[in-house]
Amino acid sequence: MTSTTITGHEPLGRKLVTVLGTRAGRTFVWLLAILWTVPTFGLLITSIRPEHEIKTSGWWTWFKHPQSTFDNYFSVLGKRSGIELGKYFLNSVRIAVPATLFSVLIAALASYAFSWMTFKGRDWLYVGVIALLVVPLQMGIIPLLRLFNVGVHLGSVTLIPAVHVPALVQVWIAHACFGMPFCLFILKNFVSSLPSELIEAAKVDGAGHMTIFRRVVLPLSLASIASLGIFQFLFIWNDFFVGKIFAGGGGKAPITAKLVEVSGNRGQAWHLLTAAAFISAAVPLAVFFSLQRYFVKGLLAGSVKG
């Protein structure tokens, strides 16, 4: 496999490991980790403090007089406060998991097609899809909403009839469409760098494109797919705009939409806001730390020989 190099002599991944392995590199990494961790840790401490303590002192004073309570979490998750964040938490799960799977699967198939299948206009089509990265997401909202609600018309002629699907499916489709250029760009770079000898050997053995994709490309691309899946899941989980527009209001909105509502209606209820914010942040943190080994492998995939 051809390695990407910085100076033409040393692979990129090996150079990065060498730099970060020095004392200065380790110090920089630790400082960066602390800067990213302290706000999250402060949010966690604040969320378990009593209301009167939160409003009278900073979270760092908790270490002098530790007082903890889980009433803040019970309030935002239950019906007592009227927030019922648990319902919106499940909404985000129902949105993020299928939308991530659809985006990554379609991007994996498309990356194989653009890398190893030959058809007329392939390169121009790929450039057209990647060019959509520079198009603001907001520009595609109205056309997609019209497609779902009234279809596409030219005067009195209906070019595409309305696609009436449930609100949840609309969110899946929207996220898959808006995330496709980025997903395709990430995966295509790796899939196209796979050894051509493997693909040719599979064709000689009589394997079709789907067989090659399923038994050759997919197993070799698992690290990159997992890394992309983490990126896409985090983006969809933290998204507010698309989920709010396509899922609508009421009980179908994602947790981010509910957090915006709570911060507007209960701007002084810090004990509820911090608990709700940490519940929303807990899933991305858990996903990242549980899959970080795949994340690192995906980042370094193709940078070193092997």
pLDDT at 304: 44
Which residue has 């909202």 as its token pair?
A: 141
| Distance from chain centroid for Cα 179 | 9
Asked, for residue 80, whether it belongs to a domain, the answer is: no
Q: pLDDT tens digits, residue range 175-214? A: 999 999 999 998 888 888 888 888 889 888 888 889 999 8
Number of domains in the chain: 1
Asked, for residue 109, whether it belongs to a domain, the answer is: yes
Residue with the bigger pLDDT between 43 and 78: it is 43
What share of the chain has pLDDT > 90, as a percent?
15
Asked, for residue 151, whether it belongs to a domain, the answer is: yes
124: domain CATH number is 1.10.3720.10
What share of the chain has pLDDT > 70, as a percent?
84
Asked, for residue 212, whether it belongs to a domain, the answer is: yes
Asked, for residue 13, whether it belongs to a domain, the answer is: no
Question: Does residue 7 register a pLDDT over 60?
Answer: no
Asked, for residue 128, whether it belongs to a domain, the answer is: yes
Domain that holds residue 114: 86-300
Question: What average pLDDT does the segment 21-35 reach?
Answer: 82
Asked, for residue 97, whether it belongs to a domain, the answer is: yes
Question: Does residue 49 register a pLDDT over 80?
Answer: yes
pLDDT at 46: 87
pLDDT at 8: 47
Question: What average pLDDT does the segment 121-144 reach?
Answer: 88
Question: What average pLDDT does the segment 249-278 reach?
Answer: 78
pLDDT at 305: 43
Question: What average pLDDT does the segment 46-58 reach?
Answer: 83
Asked, for residue 247, whether it belongs to a domain, the answer is: yes
Question: What average pLDDT does the segment 60-82 reach?
Answer: 80
pLDDT at 3: 43
Question: Does residue 107 register a pLDDT over 90?
Answer: yes
Question: What average pLDDT does the segment 38-61 reach?
Answer: 84
